[in-house]
A = this chain, B = another copy of it.
Amino acid sequence: MDNRRTFLAAAGAVLAACATKKDVEADAEPSRIGKPLKAYGERAPFEKIARLTPTTKQMENGATRTPLADLHGIITPSSLHFERHHSGVPEIDPAKHQLMIHGMVDRPLVFTMDELKRLPSVSRIHFVECSGNSGSEWGAKSAPDVQRGFGLASCSEWTGVPLALLLAEAGVQKGATWLHAEGADACKMTRSIPIDKGLKDILLVYGQNGESLRPEQGYPLRLLVPGWEGNVNVKWVHRIKVSDQPQYARDETAHYTDLMADGKARIFTFDMDAKSVITNPSGGQKIGSQGLFEIRGLAWSGRGRIEKVEVTLDGGKTWKPAQVDEVRHRMAFTRFRMPWKFDGTETVIASRAIDETGYVQPLRDDLIEVRGKNSQYHNNAVKFWKVNADGSVKNVEA
C-alpha cells in the first residue's frame, strides 16, 4: 500500500514534527470514572480564548473582538461573536417584546415574539462585519494580530422571518423607498435602509447557531441584513417605519460614513466588499518548529459567494489558489487552506479573496488611491504577515 504514503509528500512537506516510536508508550490518562451527565454543557477548563475587551470606563459603549485566529471552520461560537453596543445590552423579556411595522403601509402591524415564531422562516449562514473592522490597517498604527485588526467580524447560522413577508402583509404604499429600523436599547439605535434590500433578503432573526439569539446580538429579535455593514443589522429591533426618505440618523451621519481625501464623506455605503485574512500563521503567533504547517484563513464577501482565494508566499509577486470548501454559503465566512513547508526562510504571506462577481480584494495602496487615508470604515485591503526565521509572525504594516 505504498501508494497511500504519498499524501504528505505530495504536499511538498514532511511530518518532521511527528514522533515515531517503535515501542509505543503506555497511555498516561487516568482510569478514574469521569464527570457525570449535565443538562447544559460548558467548554473545557483548559480553554481560555475570549473576546478582546477594551480598557475603558464606558463598557456600555464600545466593542469586543472575536479571536478569529483561535477558531476553527466557519461558525463563530455565539459566546465569542463580536459585540458593538452604543448604550449597553438591554435585558428584554421576550414575552413582552413586540415588533411594530408602520409608516407608509396600508395596515400597521404589531407582532409578539410568539406570533413571529410561527410564521414561515428561513435559516442562513451569514457573516456580520462592523464597517469599522480593520480600520487600524490604513497605516501607521496597524494592529499586531488578527483579533485586534479583524475581530469585528463573525459568522453564525441565523434563523428568522423574511421581512418581505411582513411588509407584504402590512401593504407597502406607493412611493415608499426607505425603512427606518429602530432598536429597543437605551439610545434607540436607528438606521435607514433602502426598502429594496428589505424586500430582497433581510431577515428578522430570533435564532443564532441553533439556540435563541444571544442578548448581546439583539435578543430577542434583530435585523439581519446579509452582506451589509454591521451597524444596519439593528439589534433588539422593535420598530420598522416605512418612509419615502432616509432618516439621516446619528449613526449614518456623525458615524458610519467614509471621509474621503477631499474632505467630503460617502454616506450609505452598505455593502461589505470581498475580504480575507490569513489567521494561521498570523501576527503574534509563533510556529514552534520547522516542517509542514497548514496556512489557514477566512474569506467573505457581502456581494455573494467566495469563488476563489489566492495565497502569496513571496510578498505578493505570485499568487496560488488555496483550497476552499466545495459547499460554500453566500455572504458567509469561507475557510481556505494551503499546505506549506516552513523551512526557516523569512517569508511574507498574504491572501486575497475573489467573489462570485469577479471582484478581487485590493491591495492597500490601491484602496488608498481611491479612498484616501482619512476613512475609518470599509477597509478590505489585503493583509501581509511576515514569518521570521525563528517562526515568529508580524504585521508587515505594524
Which residues of A does B touch, CB under 8 Å? 1-2, 4-8, 11, 15, 17-22, 24-25, 27-47, 49-51, 53-54, 59-60, 62-64, 71-81, 83, 85, 87-98, 100, 102, 107-112, 114-115, 118-123, 157-159, 164-165, 167-169, 171-174, 176, 184-186, 188, 199, 206-212, 214-216, 219-220, 236, 238-239, 287-288, 291-294, 296, 325, 327, 329, 335, 337, 339
Q: Check A80–B169 contact: CB distance below 8 A.
A: no
Which of B38, B42, B110, B186 lies in contact with A33, CB distance below 8 A? B186
Q: Check B210–A72 contact: CB distance below 8 A.
A: yes
Assuming the contacts A42-B79, A71-B210, A75-B75, asked whether A108 and B22 have C-beta atoms less than 8 A apart, the reply is yes
Assuming the contacts A32-B186, A210-B73, A214-B43, asked whether A171 and B2 have C-beta atoms less than 8 A apart, the reply is yes
Bound Cα distance from A311 to B83, whole angstroms: 40
Assuming the contacts A5-B169, A43-B212, asked whether A60 and B38 have C-beta atoms less than 8 A apart, the reply is no
Q: Check B109–A19 contact: CB distance below 8 A.
A: yes
Query: A238 — nearest CB in chain B belongs to which residue?
Result: B27
Q: Measured between C-beta atoms, what is the minimum distance from A279 to chain B in Å?
A: 12
Query: A52 — nearest CB in chain B belongs to which residue?
Result: B39
Give the interface SS of chain A, mostly helix, strand, loop or mixed.
Answer: loop
Bound Cα distance from A96 to B100, whole angstroms: 55
Q: Measured between C-beta atoms, what is the minimum distance from A12 to chain B in Å?
A: 12
In this complex, the member of A4, A20, A81, A337 whose beta carbon has the largest number of chain B beta carbons within 10 angstroms is A4
Q: Check B33–A53 contact: CB distance below 8 A.
A: no
Q: Check A296–B94 contact: CB distance below 8 A.
A: no
Query: A95 — nearest CB in chain B belongs to which residue?
Result: B46
Bound Cα distance from A253 to B168, whole angstroms: 59
Bound Cα distance from A171 to B37, whole angstroms: 39
Contacts of A291 in B (CB 8 A): 118
Assuming the contacts A24-B102, A109-B20, A171-B2, asked whether A36 and B51 have C-beta atoms less than 8 A apart, the reply is no
Q: Check A168–B41 contact: CB distance below 8 A.
A: no
Contacts of A98 in B (CB 8 A): 27-28
Which of B32, B40, B59, B169 lies in contact with A79, CB distance below 8 A? B40
Contacts of A207 in B (CB 8 A): 71-73
Which of B22, B110, B186, B236 lies in contact with A24, CB distance below 8 A? B110
Contacts of A111 in B (CB 8 A): 18-19
Bound Cα distance from A188 to B32, whole angstroms: 11
Q: Check A77–B78 contact: CB distance below 8 A.
A: yes
Q: Measured between C-beta atoms, what is the minimum distance from A284 to chain B in Å?
A: 16
